[in-house]
Amino acid sequence: MRSLSPRVSDQGRHSGDVDRRGDHRAVVRLKILLIRLRLIGDVVFTTPAVAALRRRFPNARITYLVESPAEPVVRHHPGIDEVVVVERPRGLERIAYDAQLARRLRAAQYDLVVDFHGGPRSGVLALASGAPQRIGYDLPGRWWSYTTRVPWTRSLTPPRHSVLNQWALLEPLGIAPADPAADPTTMPVDADASHRVAQRLRDAGIDDTHRVIVFHVSAGNPFRRWPADAFAETAAALAQGGASRRIVITSGPSESATAESVAAHARHRAGAAAAGIVRSGEFDLSELRALLERAALYIGGDSGPLHIASTTRTPVVGLFGPTLPERSMPWRDPAIGAIAIDAGPLPCRPCHQRHCVPGDFRCLTMISPTMVIDAAERLLTP
């Protein structure tokens, strides 16, 4: 039977740290718990807030509670001492797991909890920690989880960047507003992943003379998937734009067949440039970050890989269907190239992505390959 114990990755200690259970003459060290479950992009959006908390409390011990898919985002973050990886068992196993996790959190004696997630599970865990100060969103049915509640609305307009939604939870701590240039989203480089990616690119015939253009052709949310044929047409056109270009087609593990199909159709369209369109298997999150660091351009929808790309200095073309770019385009130095492509004003856009009211996903199909190609060429032009 597999263990239900949450996995821990110790990030090390910061200079000046002391153990609160150590020498009673030492200064007691503030213990902070951060919670952000589920999606990769949402964890990325918390990283400016993590850096700000570290500046505000330089000697605190900061623990981050995260689910395994997004753990690489914070694994080597310099502002985090400890990462606790939370699994999602089902049924009665979930009850036993969360009870054990709650006991562990209470035993840790946190002084402050910031619940970036705001869901039922994270609210229960925040309350169970027993921390005297617990900050979270003022959401229906969760007021009892927090000692300090920050206003929240489900309205998608007017749009506010997701980084600012996370940052709002720091306002009760007296932390100044965020600035994209000073507080960008981050994901530290994993040296081992960089070496693996470099070797895979060499194996694919890609060297330092090539300009790598990464296409991510899948999205965990089907409401954000640009059509595969559109990706293929765009990839073929960009491959034909220069002999030094190499188009690398990536996807999530469950959609590798889609990526293979896009690559095959793009090669068919590209003619003599077909050899410049490659598949190099799937990349885990750390490897994807390393690949994007190497790339000249990233093209993809509003999903986790776009937000990983935003932690690099690589230009991006973001494709936005039901969502608004104002909420999730790169939060970083504005001088780094980034172009958002969308269908423009539609009566059904933005939406909460529960069902497509028109039924034809027009917010995606109205984004033409020509629009994306033109944006890409602008960013690729020296």
pLDDT value at residue 265: 97
Of the candidate ranges 4-13, 38-47, 190-199, 268-277, the one whose mean pLDDT is the lowest = 4-13
For residue 118 the two structure tokens come to 């705001």
133-172 per-position pLDDT tens digit:
999 999 988 889 999 999 988 776 678 999 999 999 999 9
The 3-class secondary structure across the chain, one letter per residue, is CCCCCCEEEECCCCCCCCCCCCCCCCCCCCEEEEECCCCHHHHHHHHHHHHHHHHHCCCCEEEEEEEHHHHHHHCCCCCCCEEEEECCCCHHHHHHHHHHHHHHHHHHCCCEEEECCCCHHHHHHHHHCCCCEEEEECCCCCHHHCCEEECCCCCCCCCCCHHHHHHHHHHHHCCCCCCCCCCCCCCCCCHHHHHHHHHHHHHCCCCCCCEEEEEECCCCCHHHCCCHHHHHHHHHHHHCCCCCEEEEEECCHHHHHHHHHHHHHHHHHHHHHHHHEECCCCCCHHHHHHHHHHCCEEEEECCHHHHHHCCCCCCEEEEECCCCHHHHCCCCCCCCCEEEEECCCCCCCCCCCCCCCCCCCHHHHCCCHHHHHHHHHHHHCC
pLDDT of residue 3: 34
- Report the CATH superfamily, name and number, of domain 7-173: Glycogen Phosphorylase B; (3.40.50.2000)
Sole residue written with tokens 């293929």: 232
The pLDDT score that the predictor gives to residue 21 is: 36
Q: Is 243 exposed, middle or buried (0-12, 13-18, 19+ CB in 10 A)?
A: middle
Same CATH topology for 7-173 and 191-380?
Answer: yes
Residue 93: is its pLDDT beyond 50? Answer: yes
Give the model's pLDDT for residue 358. 84
pTM for the structure as a whole: 0.90
| Spatial contact of 289 and 189, defined as CB atoms under 8 Å apart | yes
Lowest mean pLDDT among 1-15, 63-77, 189-203: 1-15
Q: Residue 169's closest CA among 86, 113, 105, 129? A: 113
pLDDT confidence of residue 222:
77
Q: Is the pLDDT of residue 369 over 70?
A: yes
| Average pLDDT estimate for 316-342 | 95
| Overall size of the chain counted in residues | 382
Amino acid at the residue 104: R
Q: What is the pLDDT of residues 295-328, one digit of tens each?
A: 999 999 999 999 999 999 999 999 999 889 999 9
User: Measured on CA atoms in the order 346, 351, 353, 358, is the torsion positive or negative?
Assistant: negative
| pLDDT exceeds cutoff 90 at 91 | no
Read off the pLDDT of residues 33-81 as tens digits, 9 standing for 90 and up: 999 998 899 999 999 999 999 999 999 999 999 999 999 999 999 999 9
pLDDT at 354 over 90: no
Quote the CA–CA distance of 52 and 38 in Å, as a whole number.
Answer: 22
CATH architecture for residues 191-380: 3-Layer(aba) Sandwich (3.40)
Residue ranges covered by each domain of the chain: 7-173, 191-380
